[in-house]
Amino acid sequence: ETVYGLGAHAFSEKAVGEIYRLKQRPSWNPLIVHVADVAAARDLAETWPEQADELAARFWPGPLTLVVRRARHLPGIGAANDTVAIRVPAHDVALRLLEASGLPLAAPSANRTESISPTTAEHVVRSLPDVPLVLDGGASSWGIESTVLDLTGAVPRLLRPGALGLRELRDVTGAITLPESETEDGAARNSPGMSRRHYAPRARVILRKDVQDTDRSGLAEPIGVLAYEDGPFAEVLSSDPAEYAADLYAALHRLDDAGVATILVQEPPQTEEWLAVRDRLTRAAAQ
């Protein structure tokens, strides 16, 4: 329901190694484990906080990933720490796969590292042609990755903004600590999606408050435009942040497919509702 994932048995060293090989993913970037229900999630945790039960009851199945202390008998999933990131997806195909396999499945986005996340089966086939099987579940409904919340401290901490908004989370948790600084590539982390450059198309992405008045001299052509207001733009998305997010990656794929060399993006509003979209665009524009 978020983006297409590249699934493998989360606690098989060989299977997880294939994820890293196919994606060309750096070893320090951890993976999220997907399970069929809350009971399976608890089995992966050393301790299961009360807030985890409250959040799971409200938002699972759904686009929320919880980071908890990993059960001591389990190996790390691509990260040199004692935590595990877990979620229960809200998509019939994914849940049927989890139930049929009986396995916890690591499933990062099914694309090459740093490139645009896939929201259709076709995106997966083009990005990862060596993957032997793609389950086509239709276009992703959320179109953006899950929100990741770290429950290992006294106050829940946001590691990655995503499909589930902070307002809904605060209704359950109260205070949430927001990231104060950027995580350097190579540094230890409890969640994916924290790299400086990520979610990027082949074209160069440039964020501007006013894309129409941007000086285009010196920019590589052809130039595509992504905006959320009416005007003579190549791609106009919704001014509703959830609807914008749902089509963001697909729009970037379309512009890449059109062969543009530069994508001018109208900066989204500096409001909490647009936090996840701003996060993705900022990382896509990083050089």
The answer to whether 160 is a known ligand-binding residue is yes
Burial class (CB in 10 A: 0-12, 13-18, 19+), 257: exposed
The answer to whether 117 is a known ligand-binding residue is yes
The answer to whether 109 is a known ligand-binding residue is yes
DSSP-derived secondary structure for 176-227:
-BPP-SPPPTTS--SSSS-SSS-SB-SSEEEEES-STT---TTS-SSEEEEE
Task: Tell me how far apart the alpha carbons of residues 82 and 150 are, in angstroms, rounded to a whole number.
Answer: 13
Residue 85 near residue 65 (C-beta atoms within 8 A): yes
The answer to whether 70 is a known ligand-binding residue is no
Preceding peptide of 75 cis, ω within 30°: no
C-alpha closest to that of 28 among 103, 128, 113, 116:
113
Tokens of 253: 């794929």
DSSP β-ladder status, 83-87 and 8-9: unpaired
Task: Tell me how far apart the alpha carbons of residues 250 and 245 are, in angstroms, rounded to a whole number.
Answer: 10
Q: Rounded to 5 degrees, what are φ and ψ at 234?
A: -75, -40
Residue labelled with tokens 């927001």: 178
Tokens of 240: 């509703």
Residue 271 near residue 235 (C-beta atoms within 8 A): no
The answer to whether 83 is a known ligand-binding residue is yes
State the binding site for ATP. Answer: 25, 29, 83, 109, 117, 160, 199
Residue list, annotated binding site for L-threonine = 2, 34, 87, 107, 146
Query: Per the annotation, where are the binding residues?
Result: 2, 25, 29, 34, 83, 87, 107, 109, 117, 146, 160, 199
